[in-house]
Amino acid sequence: MDSTHRALSDGGSNALVDVFEDCIDEMKDDDGIDKTEYREFLLPLIFYKAANDTYRDEYEDAVTDFGEEIANEDPAFYRLQIPDGYLWEDLLATNKRVDETLNQALEEFEELNQDLGLSFEVDYLSFETDESTLKTLLQELDAVNISVENVDYNAVSDAYMALIRRFAKEEDRDAGEFYQPEEVIEMVVRMLSPFENGDSFYDPTTGSGDMLVGVASHYRDEGKEPNKLTFVGQESIKGMTEAANLNFFLNDIEAEIEAADPLDDPMRTSGGSLREFDYVLTNFPYSEDWNKSALKDDTRFGYVDKDPRKNRADYAYILHMFSSLNETGQLATLAPQGVLFRDGESPFREFLINEDLVEAVINLPKKLFGEDTGIAPTILFLNKDKPEKRDKEVLFLNTAHEDFYRELDNENQLTPEGVDRAVEIFNEWESEERKSRVVDVEEIEETDYNLNLALYVDTTEPEEDLDTVAEAQQLAKLETELSEIRDRMKHDLRELYGEGVNQYE
């Protein structure tokens, strides 16, 4: 089988973006589909198209290598099985009851591939949509080959994440629930690396899966096989497991994604103990309610003699993730800046500092997600196996400094140079004026365990040195010019009104 991955012959990511946008436009023209349902309606079709394209390419390879008879009989040639009578061309040829046909195709597709845990929650019969809409969507998607045997991973990822961003906008959801800026993911992944075969990664609020895909892409770019790593995730937002599974499939990554709330239903081993991982990375939903009363005796939250507030689950998520680390595990999570300094949460920070678990606090620029929420998120790094040179120290890094990002029309963006410099500061453990500082934990203890970066890194703009001689000379020049202007005004007024002009001075 040909293992070469070529860029899409019809224009790469731009062609895919155009097709996905055309699909959105088609759904917008159908009153039977609400904009909050675009994701539910379209993603199963894209997944099924990608599965069909991949199956077709794998079949052609198998026929070339082993002949048609063996290719038809041996399922080992294929990542996914396609049900008889429901190939993509069969769907395209369907002119009546297209909605019912699609439901049946997806149902049999799930059954054939049940070992992968696929589950499509869509019911096309439940939509009061024109049959022509489904036909048009099938035809639009037929314009591109999105086989994982035939795409450039970066191209298809760019197009897919553009679609996810569009879904977030249409549903008026917090962008961070669906995706993270790719520059932030790259920075976090590079700071956590290097990785090695057998390492395990867990994202308890997976969203579209972009954090875990970022790890896999980094590993692949190093010339290594990402499927020698273990990827595990959970997601409680309805339908988002489909988005994650499609992202993994398009990037040819094996992952275990579970539709569940990580606080109420954490991942456990067959023996019932909490599963542990080498790395945990995520962007959890900020300041949400959680089931505090039902979980008050849960050992995940027993490190401190209090529980997080019922209407603010931030530290419930952080403690859950910490509990999911193995004995040498590392954690990186985006979080609201309030977790760094809110008074009522000081005991949680005290625990983390006293156990020397906090490795770094990184402030991000505002508007990375395209909207100005007033306060930018922070990134909190915890490490249960900090290098000896970092013992009893915490790095504070201010990537909101102008050297790390650029301002675009509607958002800010970390620059490639900014990411490189941030990773260098983290790896070299450097202090740099207005950008970063390595702080002893004793200093943090003196602030009652306040981790607000502004306490440790002076982020204010430096005042310019004042040249008093030059300023005095400029002032004298201005006063001379002002006097000359007044003299001209007096002259002009006398010309107009005569010598009795003093009353106008």
**Segment-wise mean pLDDT, segments of 10 residues, the chain, 505 residues:** 39 77 94 91 94 93 92 89 95 94 95 84 91 94 89 82 86 74 96 98 95 96 97 90 90 93 95 96 94 93 93 96 98 96 95 98 90 77 97 97 91 95 98 96 96 92 70 79 79 68 46
CA–CA separation, 459 vs 442, rounded Å? 22
For residue 202, list its beta bridge partners.
Answer: 232, 280
Cβ pair 50, 149 in contact under 8 A: no
374 and 257 belong to one structural domain: yes
- Does some domain include residue 429? yes
CA–CA separation, 111 vs 411, rounded Å? 43
CATH number at residue 158: 1.20.1260.30
Sheet holding 378-383, edge to edge: 256-259, 230-235, 200-203, 277-283, 325-335, 378-383, 358-363, 393-398, 436-440
Alpha helices in 283-390 (DSSP H): 314-323, 346-354
346 and 394 belong to one structural domain: yes
The tally of domains found in the chain comes to 3
332 and 414 belong to one structural domain: yes
- Domain closes at, from 141, 164, 187: 164
pLDDT the model gives residue 503: 44
Q: How far is CA 201 from CA 255, 317, 330, in A?
A: 10, 16, 10
For residue 234, list its beta bridge partners.
Answer: 258
pLDDT the model gives residue 374: 59
CA–CA separation, 361 vs 451, rounded Å? 8
Q: What SS3 class is residue 8?
A: coil
Which residues have CB under 8 Å from 271's CB, separation 6+? none
pLDDT the model gives residue 175: 61
Cis before 44? omega within 30: no
Residue with tokens 């690396």: 193
- Does some domain include residue 1? no
pLDDT the model gives residue 499: 59
- Does some domain include residue 401? yes
Q: Number of helices (H) and strands (E) in the chain: give both, helices first.
A: 15, 11
pLDDT the model gives residue 463: 63
445 and 484 belong to one structural domain: no
**C-alpha torsion 409→414→416→419, nearest 10:** 180
Give the tokens for residue 491. 């002259």
- Domain closes at, from 138, 164, 190: 164
Q: What SS3 class is residue 394?
A: strand
Most distant CA pair in the chain, distance: 116
- Domain closes at, from 136, 164, 192: 164
Residue with tokens 């906008």: 169
138 and 264 belong to one structural domain: no
69 burial class (0-12, 13-18, 19+ CB within 10 angstroms)?
exposed
CA–CA separation, 7 vs 9, rounded Å? 6
412 and 475 belong to one structural domain: no
Q: Which domain holds residue 481?
A: 468-504
End-to-end CA distance of the chain: 95
- Does some domain include residue 240? yes
- Does some domain include residue 424? yes
- Does some domain include residue 427? yes
134 and 282 belong to one structural domain: no
CATH number at residue 235: 3.40.50.150
113 and 181 belong to one structural domain: no
Cα of 103 vs its chain's centroid, Å? 31
Cis before 204? omega within 30: no
130 and 148 belong to one structural domain: yes
pLDDT the model gives residue 398: 97
20 and 148 belong to one structural domain: yes
pLDDT the model gives residue 475: 79
The sign of the CA dihedral 445, 448, 451, 452 is negative
421 and 277 belong to one structural domain: yes
Instruction: Give 449-461 as a DSSP string.
Output: S---GGGTS--SP
CA–CA separation, 434 vs 73, rounded Å? 65
- Does some domain include residue 354? yes
Cβ pair 304, 353 in contact under 8 A: no
71 and 142 belong to one structural domain: yes
Give the tokens for residue 139. 């035809």
- Does some domain include residue 463? no
